[in-house]
Structure 1
Amino acid sequence: MHSQAAPIPGRRCHPHPLRFWRRRPRYRHHARIDDTVCAGSHAGVCRRRRPVKVLVTGSSACLARALLPQLCADAAIERITGVDRNPPHFAHPKFRALQADFRDPQTAALLPRHDALVHLAYVVLRGRMAESAMHDINVGGSLRLLQAARAAGLRRIVHLSSAAVYGSGVALDEGAAYAPLADFRYGQHKAELERLLQEAVPACVRLRPHIILGPHAQPTLRQILRLPVFLLLADPQPDLQCVHENDVAAAILASLGRAACGPYNLAATDTWTLRGIMRRRHPLSLPLPPTAARAGLALAHGVFGWGGEPGWLDGLRHTLTLDCGRAARELGWRPAHSAEQTLAATR
């Protein structure tokens, strides 16, 4: 079980999400999580009173479309550098883009010029990519970058993980065991990287959002919600949660501005079922046996490299709900959008 972070004596909470960096707190000890000392490399993080510079990997990814505007809107942030293999889709006087693989040496060379790292880059759908190549990006490359950020003395290191590390369960808190679903490489890689980070970069914030939806949701998720079919499952139907992209971006901003470390669950408070949502969206929707859906997805993935691996469907067959109390207590984070609002915003 993950122990809860102990309060730091003398530390005061500030209403502005980045006000923490403009003051000079006095640390008497460090909070603990995962049975390791957090913030070991963050002692004295606020000695310089200047706006922060943030490096964001995966800056052309779906979530970045929600995150970058929020970062640029914050007066406490001076500059954002985005790194992505794809061309930038965002422009702002504070933002500059580097079109590169985050594993390239030039990315690591940028770290000492920044105060914080937000690591979004990740292979979600591998298509025709070899599993070994996907693993090298998601686990090996990510670990090396986050270790380099720690070695460079960055004030804050934030990694976007996923609730997929749990697999299934009801009202799970951050102490629940890693149990990603079989054949779901995305979840397995997230869990493997988290295990490594507990020892290698204990001060890293590991955000675990449930299904991220909203106007810029992953195209595959939007396509699923458009289909007039749903999985034919025995009652009771699996309960699911989701979280709005803007709420995830707000959690990242909160993580940058507080003495946080370790895992934090993120989800809207209300739950939903896939059958219920599909029947509301498509009154004439039809049930599809899981075996047929899995075979169809396997065929599309194997022949055309389209969509996700068949393991993606398994996540829709199991209940997974989260307890997000730790994010509320330590980050001051509460979702501004319900699941109903979030699903309505996803088209």
Structure 2
Amino acid sequence: MKVLVTGSSSHLACALLPRLAAHPDVEQILGVDLRPPVFRDPRYTHVLCDVRSAQLARLMTGIDAVVHLAFVVMHGELGPERHDRDLIRDINLAGGQNVFRTAAAARVAAVVHLSSAAVYELPARERPIPEAHPRKPLPGFAYAEDKIALEDWLDAFEREHREIRVARLRPHVIVGPHAQPYLRALVRAPFYVRLSDPAPRLQVVHEADVVAAILAALTRDVSGAFNLAAADAATLRELKPLALPLPFPLARAVVRLGWRFGRGTEPAWLEGLRHELVLDTSRARRRLGWRPRYDTAAGCIKAIDEEG
């Protein structure tokens, strides 16, 4: 199997590519990213390419499957352009559409798309949330807006291209040694954000378990959406019992100030902590045979500390 990976220098790709190269069914990997390679292997070729580029059509020739990771997540690597909403939307939406269109033109058999649990409408009446739950972004959450816009577009694309098998993975917050720097810093900080009682519960998922789901989606005859999260849910206080409480208004002010002056991430990520988001992962366990190695939120957090 020849696999093309977009966003091949992304945080998650650092965890995915070694596992992909070690898979017995994978003969060749083609990485596509605007940044230099983060992985080297005899079966791996890295191409500097924008996912919006017409060059992508040529790269798709002979490819059996695509893993679409390319997406602007926390804007930290965009520098002065991190506040350019039109640019970010174009990368995320037009780039994603180009990936799927060129895959269809090249007769690629399968595409595994990394979506997100951020697509779900909150607050949720259903708990845990199944894949059929309505999609609606939190106000001002650009990341969720673009994930939803691409999924909405994919609904029509899949109806028109039934010959392509599309699997949409919707992981909760991804933690691990290659997680977003902001998330790693938050996990290791000596404080936790204190929320109003009853404090909402949250889930996370370890990057190794997301990689396992990607590999399963590549090699099994499955399609549709799949939630990914550690089985249990916990409050921030339960996850960091020895940490000091930081009042939410103060945390909000700090994040907003940092965002304004080019540090940290967009404030909507923090606002999302105020809403309980617990996923039903039974479909992934049933259809993908997914058995997460890190199956508790506390276990995922502990793993980050142990991995340094």
Question: TM-score, normalization: structure 2?
Answer: 0.90
Check whether the contact 1:197–1:204 (CA below 8 A) recurs between aligned residues.
no
Check whether the contact 2:57–2:106 (CA below 8 A) recurs between aligned residues.
no
Tell me the number of residue pairs that the alignment of Structure 1 and Structure 2 aligns: 291
Q: 1:230 aligns with which of 176, 179, 192?
A: 192
Q: 1:125 aligns with which of 50, 59, 74?
A: 74
Question: TM-score, normalization: structure 1?
Answer: 0.81
Check whether the contact 1:162–1:209 (CA below 8 A) recurs between aligned residues.
yes
Gaps of at least 5 residues in structure 2 are 160-164
Label 1:189 to 1:241 Cα distance change in 2 as closer, same or farther (>3 A): same
Instruction: Return the alpha-carbon distance in structure 2 between the equivalents of residues 79 and 56 of structure 1.
Output: 11
Is 1:251 aligned to 2:219, yes or no? Answer: no
Q: 2:92 aligns with which of 124, 135, 138?
A: 138
Q: 1:82 aligns with which of 19, 31, 49?
A: 31
Q: 1:149 aligns with which of 95, 103, 113?
A: 103
Spell out the pairing of 1:302-341 with structure 2 (5 A cutoff): 302-303=260-261, 305-338=262-295, 339-341=297-299
Cα distance, 1:146 vs. partner?
A: 1.1
Partner of 1:102: 51
Instruction: Return the alpha-carbon distance in structure 1 between the equivalents of residues 215 and 32 of structure 2.
Output: 18
Partner of 1:53: 2
Is 1:180 aligned to 2:137, yes or no? Answer: yes
Instruction: Return the alpha-carbon distance in structure 2 between the equivalents of residues 275 and 211 of structure 1.
Output: 17
Instruction: Return the alpha-carbon distance in structure 1 between the equivalents of residues 220 and 232 of structure 2.
Output: 27
Cα distance, 1:299 vs. partner?
A: 1.4
Q: CA RMSD in A?
A: 1.4
Structure 2 counterpart SS, 1:208: strand
Q: 2:167 aligns with which of 205, 212, 215?
A: 205
Match for 1:310: what amino acid? P
Partner of 1:19: none
Partner of 2:150: 193
Check whether the contact 2:51–2:98 (CA below 8 A) recurs between aligned residues.
no
Deviations 1:262-295 (A, max 9, x none): 2110111011211222333x3xx1322x232222
Partner of 1:301: 259
Partner of 1:46: none
Check whether the contact 2:36–2:48 (CA below 8 A) recurs between aligned residues.
yes
Deviations 1:218-269 (A, max 9, x none): 1010111122222222222111111111111111111111221121101110
Check whether the contact 2:62–2:106 (CA below 8 A) recurs between aligned residues.
no
Match for 2:116: what amino acid? S
Check whether the contact 2:117–2:227 (CA below 8 A) recurs between aligned residues.
yes
Check whether the contact 1:206–1:262 (CA below 8 A) recurs between aligned residues.
yes
Cα distance, 1:199 vs. partner?
A: 0.8
Gaps of at least 5 residues in structure 1 are 1-51
Instruction: Return the alpha-carbon distance in structure 2 between the equivalents of residues 264 and 53 of structure 1.
Output: 23
Runs of 4+ in 1 over 3 A off after TM superposition: none
Check whether the contact 1:135–1:189 (CA below 8 A) recurs between aligned residues.
yes
Partner of 1:68: 17
| Range with bigger deviation, 332-341 or 262-271 | 332-341
Cα distance, 1:167 vs. partner?
A: 4.2
Partner of 1:24: none
Instruction: Return the alpha-carbon distance in structure 2 between the equivalents of residues 321 and 77 of structure 1.
Output: 34
Structure having the higher helix fraction is 2
* Larger Rg over CA atoms: 1
Q: 1:159 aligns with which of 99, 110, 113?
A: 113
Aligned-pair identity in percent equals 46
Cα distance, 1:160 vs. partner?
A: 0.2
